[in-house]
Structure 1
Amino acid sequence: MKLAGKVALVTGAQQGIGAAIARALAGEGADVALTWLDDRAGAEAVAAAIKSTGRRAHLLKADVAKLPEIEAMVAETVKVLGAPDILVNNAGVYPRVPLLEMRESDWDHVLDINLKAGCFATIAMAKALIAAKKKGGAVVNLSSSAIRGAVRGVHYSASKGGVVSMTRALALELAPYGIRVNAIAPGLTDTAQPRYGNTDAELVEMARSTIPLGGKLLTPDQIARTAVYLASDESSATTGQVLHVNGGSYMP
């Protein structure tokens, strides 16, 4: 068990990549707090899967666009499971909006959830770890292949590019406390989540053709295994890095 005795907090864990990461962390021995916002049934199913492995799971309803709810979710995790050794900033949105139709509210909504929330969740997690006098810790942020630019997604691309820079800065700030901070930039992933809005089948097929490694979309479990690596001591010398998990669709 790579994560035996660890406590993890995963945001946006009701479905898709977040759900897969929560299950994978529990499969390696971690107790998991998982947040949800609009799909309680999905979150309960993930929690049930975690409990079936003998690990503890705690559900937290949280709107991570709101700082008080971020602070409350970390505080409740500490109260119920203990200070989180692992934080996965997965919660994200991608409402596709053409550039010339974008409103300030569209921009703020995406940046608040995809970027700002991860920063303040990390701050709250770090404070909790330090207060509990725990040694070390790992933060895993979710970026995206859209850091290279995405049509109808200027706000999304900006937020995920920001995650990369934020990850590096947080890694420098938290290194003195032994807390590592890394990111995953997934390529196009096959999830039930309407992550890509109205992306049509033709565009998905075109995306497949750009993936040298099998020509297949990624699965949430493939992303989850990468998250386990970054959360575990196997990556103890790794911080401030971005792992591009995309089947070779691009090579930075």
Structure 2
Amino acid sequence: MTFAERLIAYEDSLNDTDDAIADYLRQHRGELERLSIQKLAAALYTVPNTLVRFAKKLHYTGFAELKVALRAEYDAPAGRVEVPINIQKTLEMLDEGQMAAVARRLKRVRRVYFYGIGNTNPFCETMAHYLKCTGKTAESFDYRHDMYYSADHAEPGDLVFVISVSGETDQLIKAVQMAKARGAYCVSLTSLCRNTLAQMADCRLYCYTQKMEIEGYEVSDRVPVMLVLRKLAEQYWALFDPPIGPPVK
């Protein structure tokens, strides 16, 4: 993942000091190579250990690796994103602890509603099927009004799982607002960007994909979406005794 992508993926672990460090590094990335960690710390009115902790929060081995990575990004030409890169980056950003926590919550809640529109709705149907085979009450919705009805009748103890590549689909935003107003817990799965649905969610999952159109047709790579969902389903199945499905690796 790039520096900017890591800032989004791990933003929940960052504090105000970390945000200030990130802003400074973005503004001075072309100068980092000649600056020592001591000089950077002085420029930021902090200490070197704070910079090291910041780097580790972003899952670098240390500040030295962060500097090298930022320099490489600064020098690298922009290129077309290919499907294998989408898969690789999605796997890199998956937080196993977070995935396990979501799987446990899926098992614990009373009902799960999967919300998606258009090309993401088949993923909702698949996930509802994955949960139903364990006896869990899980639903997806082909029609917008059915989705709104479920949201308006959600209760504490229900979970809404919303899937949207952009994270800005108006109908999904409305449904999540309705469900959260009723006390439902919300998990979002979106592409790695700051977006409305992710900000509304109680728990944010990300995949790496970018919007792509050909002759007006939306043809974004959705393999990363299914990758995250399948791994989540396998985490969920592993919670049963005996475990259901293939072993989690």
How does the TM-score come out when normalised to structure 2? 0.35
Q: Which has the higher helix share?
A: 2
Higher normalized contact order (CA 8 Å, seq sep 6+, divided by chain length): 1
**Highest CA radius of gyration, 1 or 2?**
2
